[in-house]
Every structure is written in C-alpha cells, then in structure tokens.
A and B are shown apart, each in its own frame.
Chain A
Amino acid sequence: MEMEITVLFFGELAEVAGANKMAVQNMSDTHSLTEWMEEKYPALKNRTYRVAVNKEVISEKRNLKNADEVALLPPYAGG
C-alpha cells in the first residue's frame, strides 16, 4: 500500500536540506529513512542529530506508518 510520511528539518539541518519540510513515500523504518537522507544530503553524515517520530525522540529503529511525522533535530540550544 502507498504510504507517505512527512520529514521535518530544524536549525542547521534545514540549511543542509534546503527545506523545512519534505514528503517521503514508501519508507519502512527510521533507519532506512536516515540512510536515504544521508545519501541525498551527504553533509548530514557529519552532523549530530536526534530523530523524533510524532514528536517523541527515539533511540532505536522505529517502523514507520502512513502519515507519521519524522523530525531531524540538531543539538538543542534553548535558554
């Protein structure tokens, strides 16, 4: 079945990707997504970032389903 997720880029990563937001089709899990992203934007490989799925930071690979929102979060700098 067709599935589409939204990928959000923040801070410096939005500059690396040249966008804040992107629709990505048929991506089974977060690991294949970041691999695909790092191939598309090689500069990502040298960046530190966390991955959030539906506004929750994940520490292990997560399977993705239709309409999920994945965010790539560079180091926080609040305060």
Chain B
Amino acid sequence: MEEKKHKVHKVIQQGAISGEFIAASINKHNSKTSIGAHTIFLGQVRSDKKEDKEVVAIDYSAYEEMAEKEFHAIREEAFAKYKLTCMHIHHSIGLVKAGEISLFVFVSAVHRDEVFTACADIVTQIKERVPIWGKEILEDGTHLWKVNNKYVDKNG
C-alpha cells in the first residue's frame, strides 16, 4: 500500500465509548486484508474507594485544542516509530460511569510484534502528555480530582 499522510482525526467524544462503537470499529477493518494483527486497549472507569466512599463516575474535561494537537502528535510519532497499518484513538469527555469505557486505542499491523509494543507505548504517551482531567464523583455527590499514578511535574 502507498504511504499516505495521516489526517487529523477528532479523538475526543462526548460520554462513554460503547461496546457497539468498538465492535463497529473492528468490523470496519474487514476490508483491510493486509492486516494480520490488531491490539485493543480499553480504559475502564474504576470504582475506587476514596475517603471511604465509592467512585461512581468520572467527569472528564480537557483543554480540547491542545489535547487534539497532542493526540495527533502521538499518532504521527507512533506511525514513524512502528510499522503500523492503521491506528485509532478515542477518548471520552463528560460523565463516564464506573464500569464504562473512557479510552479506546486500536492498533493494527501486518504482524503481532509491532502492535503489542506500539499499543502499550501509545497508552503511556496519552497518560503523560494529553491535557485531560477527571473529576471523580463519589457516592455522596462530593468529588475529588483524579491523579494518574506516574505523573511527573516537568516544572520541577
């Protein structure tokens, strides 16, 4: 297949990512018969216990223009780094309940080695570089702000 420039795809979508959406996305690849391997990463909202209260949902917000710019950069870098046939990233904004999907990364290539490595790398890049925040809504209606485990303050 001829190498082509990658279009800017809108990554952020309102609300949870449904199983139907994911299934439809897989089905769309039926016609791309050079692909031999897909990996899919799904990030699910976890019902953590915080201050003895359960997290019932996460309300996501983003610096949307910068987030889309970072998503695009991560995508371009991954295409340069790995031999991928195609790649899709979807991330939720707004309210996503515990047990629902908020991140969907879908990586496809000719062989499996590329997709395993690429998918893990892309998810790490997303968590470190994309300006998205999550307000954890607790069962009593109060909230806390989610912090990703590996956050490093680059300002020192």
Contact = CB atoms under 8 A, between A and B. Distances in A.
Interface of A: 8, 10-12, 48-52, 55-57, 59, 71, 73-79
Given A59-B154, A75-B147, A77-B145, A10 B131 contact: yes
Interface string B99-140: 000110000000000000000000100111111111100000
Given A55-B66, A55-B69, A76 B132 contact: yes
8 contacts: A55-B63, A71-B131, A73-B131, A76-B132, A76-B151, A77-B134, A79-B43, A79-B127
A33 to B, nearest CB: 14
Contacts of B155: 49-51, 59
Tell me whether chain A's interface is mostly helix, strand or loop, or mixed.
loop
Contacts of B130: 76, 78
